[in-house]
A and B are shown apart, each in its own frame.
Chain A
Amino acid sequence: MGSFDNINYSLRPSKSIERSLVFEGLGRLQAALDLNAQIYVGMGSIWFADFLMAHRLLGIDDMVSIEADDIGYTRAEFNRPYRSVDVRHGRSGVELSAMYLSEDHRQRPWIIWLDYDGPLDEEGVEDLRNVFSGAPHNTILLTTFSATGAAYGKPKDRHERLKRLLGGVVPDDLDEDAIRDGLPETLASVTMDFLTSAAEVSGRPGGFVPAFKLVYTDSATMVTVGGILPRPGARPAAKAVIDLPSWPGIVEPRITAPHLTLREAAVLQAQLPTEVPLTRDNLQGLGFDLKDEQLASYASFYRYYPTYAQINF
C-alpha cells in the first residue's frame, strides 16, 4: 500500500518545512558547485511536491519518479506535473540500476532523494549502498524513512536489528534512550555514518560529505539524511558550503510544527523575528497557547511554515 492511501501529503507542516530546508540547501549547493544539467530522481508518489520544487526553485528539467505500486503508478502518470517528468514503474533497485548504466544519465550530476514511506529496511540499505558505486560525480543523495520504534522491533531487539541492517557501523554500546525515545536521532546518525563509510568501502574518489540531517514529526517521526558525493577536486568546495553556520540542512532538535489556524499563524508571525525568544507567557498574553517545543519549532522555522486553506469546488 502506498502512503497516498493514508496520508494527505499536503497537510503535513513538518514535512513541508523539511522539504523547504532541503531545497534551500540544494539551491546553495547548486550555486557553489557549478552543477550543470542536473537530473532529479525521486519517489514522487502522486503529489510530486519535491518535483515541483526541483523544477521551480532549481530549474531542473529532467526528472525521474520511481513508483513500485501498480495503482500508484497509474495515478502518478495521471498526476505528472510537467511533461519532462519520467515516471517509471518498478522497484527502486531495478530502476536505479538501469539508470546507472544509461549513457545519458551517467554524464550528469543527480539529485537522488530516496523517500521511503516505511522504515529503513534491507532493500533501502541496498539502494543506498549502490548509489556509491553507480551514481555520477557531484551527485547529491538524500534518503527519508520512518523512525517509528515498532518498525524496528521491540526495544530489546532494536540494537540487534540495526546491526543486522546497517552492519559494523552501528556502535556496540547503544544506551536505553538511544533505542527508545532517541531512536530517530540514533537512526539519523547511524545512517549518516553508514553513508560516510559506504563511500570509503566502495573506494569512491571524493568520498561523501554529510550535508542533511533532519528529524521531523507530523503523525509519525521521520528521518532525512544525506550528503554530497563530490567529484574528487570538489570536496573542499562542498565542505565550505556545509560548514557555514547558516547551512539549513542540519537541524536540531526535531521539527515538530504545530497545526495552527490562520489566525494563530498570523498573530505569531507578527511577533517574529525577535532577538528575545518567545515564551508561553508571551503567547498566553496574545490570547492562546502551545507546547514549548511547538512554539520553539514555529519560531525557528516560521519562514518555511506552510499555510493551508480549504478549497470547495
Chain B
Amino acid sequence: MTLLGKAEANPTKSFFVRMITRDIALEDCILDLVDNSIDGAWSLEGGRPIGLNQAADLSKYEIKIIANEGCFSVSDNCGGMTLKDAEEYAFTFGRKETSEREDFSIGVYGIGMKRAVFKLGENIEITSTWADGSALSAFRVSIDVNQWLSPAKAKEWDFPIYSADPGADSGVNIQVNTLTPETAAAFSSPLFERNLRRILARDYTLHLHYGLRIILNGKAVNGWQIELRESDAFQSMRDAYPDDADGRGEVRVEIVAGMAAPPPDTNDVEEAEGDERYGWYAICNGRVVMAGDKTAAAGWGTEGWPQWHGQYNGFIGLVVFSSVNAALLPLTTTKRSVDVSSGVYRRAQAKMREASKRWTSYTNQRKQAQEEAKIAEAATRPLSIYAIPARAAVALPTYKAVPKEPSGTINYTLPKKRIQALASALGSINMSYREVGLKSFEHTYDDFVGDD
C-alpha cells in the first residue's frame, strides 16, 4: 500500500464562522457576552453555587450595553481577563480539553465571545484591564473580520494581542463597529430593544436580585420579581437535593413550583396574551436557559404528562441547577434550552412532573366549583420565590364534583369594535369576551325576567 497524499480536512475559516453564527439568535449572542462578564464577577466573589438562598452581593458590579444602529458595545467592571487568559483560553475556538474551569461559571463551551462578535459586525475591538499584581495592566485585540477571513490569511487563526492603556477599573470592553445589516436593522428597532430588556430582566433575574446592575442604552434593567401565591390552602413546593451526575461530580438541584396567578376563565387563544410567563423555567449556574416552557422540553406532552393547554396558565415552576463544573449542567450550546438527554435533567423531570400534575388536576377540579375556587384564589398573597419555605410538594385545594343543574352554552360572534365598546361600558375594555357575554346576559335577565 502506497501513500499517495493527504486529503485536506481542515475547516476553512469562513465555513467555521458561518457555522457558529448561523444557529444562534442575536439576543443570545449578547447574553453570551453578559455571561462572560458575570463569570468574571462571580469568580471575584469566590465562585460558589448560585441558588435561591444565597447571601451573595453583586452590587459593585455593573455591565453596560449599548446597542444602536451604528455600533454595539458591552463594558464591565467585573475583573477583566488576564493576558494569560487571552493567550490560552479566551480567543480559542472551543474549550481546550485540558482546561476544565471549576468555578461555577456559565461559559461552558468556550465559544460565546467569538460567536457573538462575528455575528454582530465586522470591526471588533476588545480591551481588557486586569489587576496584574497591585497595578492595572491592559491589552487590546482588534479584529477586522474581512481581513481575517481573506484567502491570504487562510492558515492564520491567531489574533495578535497589543498592549493598551489600562482603564479606571479592571474589566472588559468590547466594541463592535460596522455592524452586519441584520444587526443594524435589529438594533434600530424599538421592539428589539424592549424585548432584549425583558430577556435580560428575566434571564438574569437571580443576579439582578443579588445586586448586579445591567444598563441597556443608558437605562437600568429591573430584574423580574418572580412571585408565587400562597395561603393556607395554596402552598408552593420547594425542594432541594444533590445529584451526582452519574458519578462525574455534584450538581445541586432546587425546585420551586406553584400558582403565580389564578387559572384563566377563558381558553380563547386571542385572549391568552401575557401567558408567556407561565410554564417551567430551568436555571443553570444562575442563568435562565429555558423560560415559560410549555413544550416537551419541560415534559409537557411526553409520557405521563398532558400537552400544555391554556387552562394551565397561572402555573410557574423553576428548576435550578448549579455545579462547580458547568459541563455537568443540562444546557444547550445556545443556552436557550435544556439538554433533555442529560441524566441530571431527567431525574429532575420526575419531580417536576409531580408539581405539574397537581396543578393540571387542580385546574380540572376547580371547574366543578368555580365560584368557591375563585374566592380561595383571591385570598392568596404573593410571596417572592426566595422566601418560600421548604415543602416537598405543591398543595392545592381539592373540589368534588357537585350535581349540576342542566345548563346550556350560548355562543355568538360580533364585531370586535362593538364587543370592546360594551366591555368598556361594563367596566374594562380588556374584559374577556366570555365575561362580556355573562354580564350582558345578567343585565338582560334582570331587565326582562327579574329576580329568580
- Chain A residues proximal to chain B, CB less than 8 Å: 121-122, 150, 152-154, 156-157, 160-161, 163-164, 167-169, 171-172, 193-194, 196-197, 199-201, 203, 207
Which of B247-255, B325-333, B423-431 participates in binding chain A? B423-431
Question: Can you offer 7 A-B residue contacts whose CB atoms are under 8 A?
Answer: A157-B424, A164-B430, A169-B190, A172-B194, A197-B189, A199-B185, A203-B185
- Give the residue of B191, B198, B417 whose beta carbon is less than 8 angstroms from that of A201: B191
Asked if B273 is at the interface (CB within 8 A of a chain A CB), the reply is: yes
- Give the residue of A167, A172, A193, A200 whose beta carbon is less than 8 angstroms from that of B185: A200
Taking CB atoms and an 8 Å cut-off, the chain B residues in 264-285 that contact chain A are 273
Q: Which residues of A contact B424 (CB under 8 A)?
A: 150, 153-154, 157
Asked if B445 is at the interface (CB within 8 A of a chain A CB), the reply is: no
Contact, CB under 8 Å: A193 / B191: yes
Q: How far is the CB of B205 from chain A (nearest CB, A)?
A: 14
Q: How far is the CB of B219 from chain A (nearest CB, A)?
A: 10
Asked if B84 is at the interface (CB within 8 A of a chain A CB), the reply is: no
Contact, CB under 8 Å: A153 / B189: no
Taking CB atoms and an 8 Å cut-off, the chain B residues in 181-206 that contact chain A are 185-186, 188-192, 194-195, 198
Q: Which residues of B contact A168 (CB under 8 A)?
A: 191, 194-195, 198
Q: Which residues of B contact A171 (CB under 8 A)?
A: 194
Asked if B416 is at the interface (CB within 8 A of a chain A CB), the reply is: yes
Q: Which residues of A contact B420 (CB under 8 A)?
A: 121
Closest 5 CB pairs of A and B: A153-B429, A197-B191, A193-B190, A200-B189, A197-B189
Knowing A121-B417, A164-B273 touch, does A197 contact B430 (C-beta < 8 A)?
no
The distance in angstroms between the C-alpha atoms of A164 and B433, with both chains bound, is: 14
Q: How far is the CB of A243 from chain B (nearest CB, A)?
A: 14
Q: Which residues of B contact A150 (CB under 8 A)?
A: 424
A168-B198, A201-B191 given; name 19 further pairs at CB < 8 Å: A154-B424, A154-B429, A161-B429, A164-B273, A167-B191, A168-B191, A193-B190, A193-B191, A194-B191, A196-B189, A196-B190, A197-B189, A197-B191, A197-B192, A199-B185, A200-B188, A200-B192, A201-B189, A207-B185
Knowing A200-B185, A200-B186, A207-B185 touch, does A169 contact B198 (C-beta < 8 A)?
no
Q: Which residues of A contact B195 (CB under 8 A)?
A: 168
Q: Which residues of B contact A121 (CB under 8 A)?
A: 416-417, 420
The distance in angstroms between the C-alpha atoms of A150 and B420, with both chains bound, is: 12
The distance in angstroms between the C-alpha atoms of A168 and B201, with both chains bound, is: 14
Contact, CB under 8 Å: A172 / B198: yes
Contact, CB under 8 Å: B188 / A152: no
Contact, CB under 8 Å: A153 / B188: no
Q: Which residues of B contact A199 (CB under 8 A)?
A: 185, 189
Q: What secondary structure prevails in chain B residues at the interface with A? A: helix
Q: Which residues of B contact A167 (CB under 8 A)?
A: 191
Q: How far is the CB of A153 from chain B (nearest CB, A)?
A: 3
The distance in angstroms between the C-alpha atoms of A203 and B190, with both chains bound, is: 15
Contact, CB under 8 Å: A157 / B430: yes
- Give the residue of B191, B273, B428 whose beta carbon is less than 8 angstroms from that of A169: B191
The distance in angstroms between the C-alpha atoms of A169 and B190, with both chains bound, is: 6
Q: Which residues of B contact A153 (CB under 8 A)?
A: 424, 428-430
Kindly report which residue of chain B lies nearest to residue A121, judged by CB atoms: B417
Q: Which residues of B contact A157 (CB under 8 A)?
A: 424, 428-430
**Which of B185, B186, B190, B198 has the most chain A CB atoms closer than 10 A to its own CB?**
B190
- Give the residue of B191, B194, B417 whose beta carbon is less than 8 angstroms from that of A200: B191
Q: Which residues of A contact B430 (CB under 8 A)?
A: 153, 157, 160-161, 164
The distance in angstroms between the C-alpha atoms of A163 and B190, with both chains bound, is: 14
The distance in angstroms between the C-alpha atoms of A85 and B188, with both chains bound, is: 37
Q: Which residues of A contact B192 (CB under 8 A)?
A: 197, 200
The distance in angstroms between the C-alpha atoms of A119 and B416, with both chains bound, is: 13
Q: How far is the CB of A47 from chain B (nearest CB, A)?
A: 24
Contact, CB under 8 Å: A122 / B416: yes
Q: Which residues of A contact B194 (CB under 8 A)?
A: 168-169, 171-172
Q: Which residues of A contact B188 (CB under 8 A)?
A: 196, 200, 207
Contact, CB under 8 Å: B190 / A197: yes
Interface string of B403-421 (1 = CB under 8 A from A): 0000000000000110010
Contact, CB under 8 Å: B191 / A154: no
Q: How far is the CB of A117 from chain B (nearest CB, A)?
A: 12
Kindly report which residue of chain B lies nearest to residue A166, judged by CB atoms: B191
Q: Which residues of A contact B417 (CB under 8 A)?
A: 121
Kindly report which residue of chain B lies nearest to residue A206, judged by CB atoms: B185
The distance in angstroms between the C-alpha atoms of A150 and B192, with both chains bound, is: 30
Q: How far is the CB of A106 from chain B (nearest CB, A)?
A: 23
Q: How far is the CB of A142 from chain B (nearest CB, A)?
A: 19
The distance in angstroms between the C-alpha atoms of A161 and B271, with both chains bound, is: 12
The distance in angstroms between the C-alpha atoms of A193 and B273, with both chains bound, is: 20
The distance in angstroms between the C-alpha atoms of A233 and B186, with both chains bound, is: 18
Interface string of B9-50 (1 = CB under 8 A from A): 000000000000000000000000000000000000000000
The distance in angstroms between the C-alpha atoms of A172 and B193, with both chains bound, is: 12
Q: How far is the CB of A152 from chain B (nearest CB, A)?
A: 7
The distance in angstroms between the C-alpha atoms of A193 and B195, with both chains bound, is: 13
The distance in angstroms between the C-alpha atoms of A161 and B273, with both chains bound, is: 11
Q: Which residues of A contact B185 (CB under 8 A)?
A: 199-200, 203, 207
Q: How far is the CB of A163 from chain B (nearest CB, A)?
A: 8
The distance in angstroms between the C-alpha atoms of A167 and B192, with both chains bound, is: 12
The distance in angstroms between the C-alpha atoms of A180 and B163, with both chains bound, is: 56
The distance in angstroms between the C-alpha atoms of A171 and B217, with both chains bound, is: 14
Contact, CB under 8 Å: A152 / B191: no
The distance in angstroms between the C-alpha atoms of A207 and B184, with both chains bound, is: 10
Q: How far is the CB of B407 from chain A (nearest CB, A)?
A: 30
Q: Which residues of B contact A172 (CB under 8 A)?
A: 194, 198
Q: How far is the CB of B28 from chain A (nearest CB, A)?
A: 17
The distance in angstroms between the C-alpha atoms of A122 and B418, with both chains bound, is: 13
Kindly report which residue of chain B lies nearest to residue A193, judged by CB atoms: B190
Kindly report which residue of chain A lies nearest to residue B219, judged by CB atoms: A173
Kindly report which residue of chain A lies nearest to residue B276, judged by CB atoms: A168
Kindly report which residue of chain A lies nearest to residue B427, judged by CB atoms: A154
The distance in angstroms between the C-alpha atoms of A254 and B190, with both chains bound, is: 24
Q: How far is the CB of A134 from chain B (nearest CB, A)?
A: 19
The distance in angstroms between the C-alpha atoms of A160 and B428, with both chains bound, is: 10
Q: Which residues of A contact B416 (CB under 8 A)?
A: 121-122
The distance in angstroms between the C-alpha atoms of A153 and B429, with both chains bound, is: 5
The distance in angstroms between the C-alpha atoms of A169 and B420, with both chains bound, is: 22
Q: How far is the CB of B406 from chain A (nearest CB, A)?
A: 36
Q: Which residues of B contact A207 (CB under 8 A)?
A: 185, 188
Kindly report which residue of chain B lies nearest to residue A209, judged by CB atoms: B188
The distance in angstroms between the C-alpha atoms of A169 and B189, with both chains bound, is: 9
Kindly report which residue of chain B lies nearest to residue A200, judged by CB atoms: B189
The distance in angstroms between the C-alpha atoms of A294 and B124, with both chains bound, is: 53
Q: How far is the CB of A63 from chain B (nearest CB, A)?
A: 28
Q: How far is the CB of A104 from chain B (nearest CB, A)?
A: 30
The distance in angstroms between the C-alpha atoms of A201 and B424, with both chains bound, is: 31
